[in-house]
Structure 1
Amino acid sequence: MTALTVAVVEAAEDLAVHSPGGRLATPLLGVLDEAANVCRWRELPNLYSHYGSRGIVLMTILQSWSQGVDVWGESGMKKLWSAANIKCYGGGVSEAAFLEDLSRMVGEYDRESSSLSVGRGHRTVSRQLQRERILDVADLAAMPKGRALVLASGSRPALIRTQPWMSGPHADAVRASITAHDPQGERTIREAETEALTVSSSLAQEPAS
């Protein structure tokens, strides 16, 4: 799978080099799902930014930070993370060091607190601002299904609700593809729809944000 991926991307790069502006007229999206397991491309961190400038958009999906470190090392994983223009965290990770870095990137906010003191028949109310994390490590570790944190270059981090494919505009096409190519298509569709209903139910019970 790694050899096939590299061959496709290198062919796209060759086409981009000979295209106007040195970029593909129609961008190529390469979705590297479970990259640490099925596409252990050692040079990926060094090429991420370069390929982006060629109109070759690579999307690397990992289960955790440490999974990427196993493949590219700590410096390689940091390079990959820094080169990505859009970073998404979907929860389910319990690595405190990674979550601490993520929490610091989300930032802080000013919370107003007040205190009351009484003396000699007078009441005095003091107000002060305290800086607190918007999302601390515990919040990020406990992020529920159906939520994701998106960090995009040039924008403030955003907490979003995800949209299951079966409720999106291409649901019929996705079902048809699964039915045609997945040996367990009916089971795949049934499990996906069940999980989507569970997520929708949990979000419906959340207080308005």
Structure 2
Amino acid sequence: MQSYRQGQKVWGDAGMDAMWSASTIKVIGSGIDDPDFADKLSRLIGDHDVETTSTSMSESGKSTSVSMRQERILPADAIRALPKGTALAFATGMRAAMLDLRPWYLEPGAEELSAASDRASKAITHRALAKYTPHQDDYGTAA
């Protein structure tokens, strides 16, 4: 799918939510332009503690205090601005990870991978056509 909303359109809200929650590995690439989905991803990534220091002056002198506050690790606007070639990975039982994607077609063995992909695509097409094309008998008539 190109977007979460595309899945909602096909399977409905409940169906897409069920598929999302059942997926043990999710990879989300750049180009997220849905603020609700970006916020959902941001919440999944989580928060971290940020130390805040404040200083005040009084007649008795200078006072410094340190406090902790929660802040999103990756806010929704940062998710929406992910550069091309970057993805977020979510795997069950692990923290989210930011990935730098490598173009497979520039890697060693790319020709073999491309040829295997072509063979697999042709086989899938052949099986799909065979399933929906009437079989012919030895005389060329539909069976």
The TM tier, using the shorter chain, reads 0.7 to 0.9
1:114 corresponds to 2:48: no
1:42-191 equivalence runs, <5 A: 62-120=1-59, 122-174=61-113
Amino acid in structure 2 at the alignment position of 1:119: S
Normalising by structure 1, we get a TM-score of 0.53
Unaligned ranges ≥5, structure 1 = 1-61, 181-209
Provide, for residues 181-204 of structure 1, a one-character-per-residue CA deviation record: whole Å limited to 9, x for no partner.
xxxxxxxxxxxxxxxxxxxxxxxx
After alignment, is 117-126 or 73-82 more displaced? 117-126
SS across alignment from 2:82 = coil
Runs of 4+ residues deviating >3 angstroms: 174-180
- Aligned-residue RMSD, C-alpha: 2.0
Tell whether the 8 Å contact from 2:50 to 2:70 is kept in structure 1 after alignment: yes
| Partner Cα distance (2:94, 2:108) in 1 | 26
Between Structure 1 and Structure 2, how many residues are aligned?
119
| Partner Cα distance (1:102, 1:108) in 2 | 12
Partner of 1:203: none
Quote how far apart the aligned CAs of 1:179 are. 9.4
Amino acid in structure 1 at the alignment position of 2:111: D
Quote how far apart the aligned CAs of 1:113 are. 1.0
| Partner Cα distance (1:72, 1:179) in 2 | 29
| Partner Cα distance (2:116, 2:93) in 1 | 36
Amino acid in structure 2 at the alignment position of 1:84: S
Tell whether the 8 Å contact from 2:8 to 2:15 is kept in structure 1 after alignment: yes
| Partner Cα distance (1:166, 1:121) in 2 | 68
Quote how far apart the aligned CAs of 1:112 are. 0.5
Quote how far apart the aligned CAs of 1:130 are. 0.8
Amino acid in structure 2 at the alignment position of 1:83: A
Quote how far apart the aligned CAs of 1:166 are. 2.7
Amino acid in structure 2 at the alignment position of 1:109: H
Greater helix share, 1 or 2? 1
| Partner Cα distance (1:160, 1:124) in 2 | 43
Normalising by structure 2, we get a TM-score of 0.75
Provide, for residues 27-46 of structure 1, a one-character-per-residue CA deviation record: whole Å limited to 9, x for no partner.
xxxxxxxxxxxxxxxxxxxx
Quote how far apart the aligned CAs of 1:164 are. 0.8
Q: Answer with 1 or 2: which has the greater Rg.
A: 2
